[in-house]
Amino acid sequence: MQVFKFGGASVNNTDRIKNVAAILRQYSGQPLLVVISAMGKTTNALEKVAEAFYRGEKDQALQLFEQVKTQHLTTAKYLLVKNALACEARLRDFFTEVEWLLHDKPVRNFDYYYDQIVCTGELFSTSIVSAYLNEEGILNEWLDVRDVFRTDDNFRDAAIDLSFTAKRVASGVVPLFEQHNIVITQGFIGATDENESTTLGREGSDYTAAVFANLLGASSLSIWKDVEGVMNADPKLFPEAQLLRELNYDEVIEMAYYGAQVIHPKTIKPLQNKDIPLHVKCFLEPELPGTVIHNQSISGLPPIIVVKNDQVLVHLHTQDFSFIGEEPMSRLYEIFAAVKIKPNLIQSGAVSLVVCLDNRSDKIDQFASLAAALFDVQVEKGLRLLTIRHYNDTVLQQLTAGRKRVLVQQSEDTVQLLLS
């Protein structure tokens, strides 16, 4: 058994969906559980629907939703012949549920409505792709993952109830493979014990696929993307970026931690626990080898570069020039938790410390005002955080030439530089 995950870009239009079919055809006869994201930018579009609804702009919400509907109905119409009516009927059932909700007035919190609306993107895309594959003779079973993935009710960032979900996978998913080799389902969404839809956080489909791989004891997970594989730097910023053919789990976790947009960081643990290799492959050129991520340690990696722009450095100075001890430190971490921000870098001295954060103005303001109860606070904006793993002097010189180093933190294998 293998698990595949196709992201939004891979099912963005009819040609891309045909391309997915061509890839799956290569694997005919092999059991595959296939997780598919919402088409293209559908999730963003549905977020706009949820926001308009919550602002009380019902007509606007309905109109925005109409665009999402049209786009999916049009795609289905172009792709399907035999299964057109059945697929359209299923899509319309999902549409109706959302429209009912949009006709109500919001009485619960935003995150709840967000999940009820946004979860439909993956239901639409998988319904269309499943119907198309069946028409093409790639016989598959469509599965509503909300019947399998049980979560808590922390809407928009729901946590999976693994033991319940494991039982459901055994009783509700494994038997599907007796009928067909392919099961098509959604990532990113789940349901509470009260059958309310939930989402696992943006870009959460990789994570769903990894949990499936773990619970099914899959031989591998393949994530199909529009890039060649994992690169050592963002090719948009560094044209000489190179493909990393092999990485180990810990390296990927480190890269994600420092802000590399490789794969959702939660994806690794479920795979690592069962030693399941992760392939990152290009859906545009499926014959390319891509990157494989596994447990073996790898030596001789080139420098891996992660850039985070729009950074803020907050300078905190004790008000009475007392040393910074456990007390202000623990208060500081309480503030991080209260504001829900993760510092990208912290450096402390005797009477002052500096904290590097992503520039999210609402959070920075909140953080600064809470911290002002303990410290004198100064905020410096417009910085760039550069992280280099496996650095050497040459790269370090190259990447920092002509820029002022505001802060440097260095360990044996990683250097972080905050540049102005």
CA dist list (Å): 190 to 65, 152, 159, 197: 21, 9, 9, 6
From the CB of 353, what's the least distance to ligand ASP, in Å? 34
Output DSSP code: residue 196: -
Interacting residue ranges for ligand ASP, rule: CB under 6 A: 7-8, 37-38, 43, 121, 187-188, 202-205
Taking residues 162 to 201 in sequence order and writing x for each that binds Mg ion by CB under 5 A, - otherwise, the string is: ----------------------------------------
**Which one of 11-19, 29-37, 217-225, 377-385 is the stretch in contact with Mg ion (CB under 5 A)?**
29-37
* 3-state percent helix, strand, coil for the chain, nearest multiple of 5: 45, 25, 35
Which of residues 37 and 125 has its CB atom nearest to Mg ion in the complex? 37
Query: Backbone phi, then psi, for 325, in 5-degree steps?
Result: -120, -160
From the CB of 36, what's the least distance to ligand ASP, in Å? 9
From the CB of 334, what's the least distance to ligand ASP, in Å? 30
What value, to the nearest 5°, has the Cα angle with vertex 49 and ends 150 and 202? 45
Sequence-distant (6+) residues with CB within 8 A of 327 are: none
From the CB of 268, what's the least distance to ligand ASP, in Å? 15
Q: At what angle do helices 14-25 and 120-135 cross, to 10 degrees?
A: 60
Which of residues 35 and 312 has its CB atom nearest to ligand ASP in the complex? 35
- Among Mg ion, ligand ASP, none, residue 229 binds (CB under 5-8 Å by kind): none
- Residue 7, interface with Mg ion (CB under 5 A)? yes
From the CB of 216, what's the least distance to ligand ASP, in Å? 19
C-alpha torsion sign, points 225, 209, 183, 30:
positive
Sequence-distant (6+) residues with CB within 8 A of 153 are: 192, 194, 196, 198
Of 31-70, binders to Mg ion (CB under 5 A) are 37
Which of residues 42 and 134 has its CB atom nearest to Mg ion in the complex? 42
Residue 5: beta bridge partners? Answer: 35, 223
Distance from C-alpha of 52 to C-alpha of 206, rounded to nearest angstrom: 28
Taking residues 251 to 290 in sequence order and writing x for each that binds Mg ion by CB under 5 A, - otherwise, the string is: ----------------------------------------
CB 72 within 8 A of CB 144: no
From the CB of 209, what's the least distance to ligand ASP, in Å? 9
Which of residues 209 and 364 has its CB atom nearest to Mg ion in the complex? 209
From the CB of 325, what's the least distance to Mg ion, in Å? 44
Taking residues 331 to 350 in sequence order and writing x for each that binds Mg ion by CB under 5 A, - otherwise, the string is: --------------------
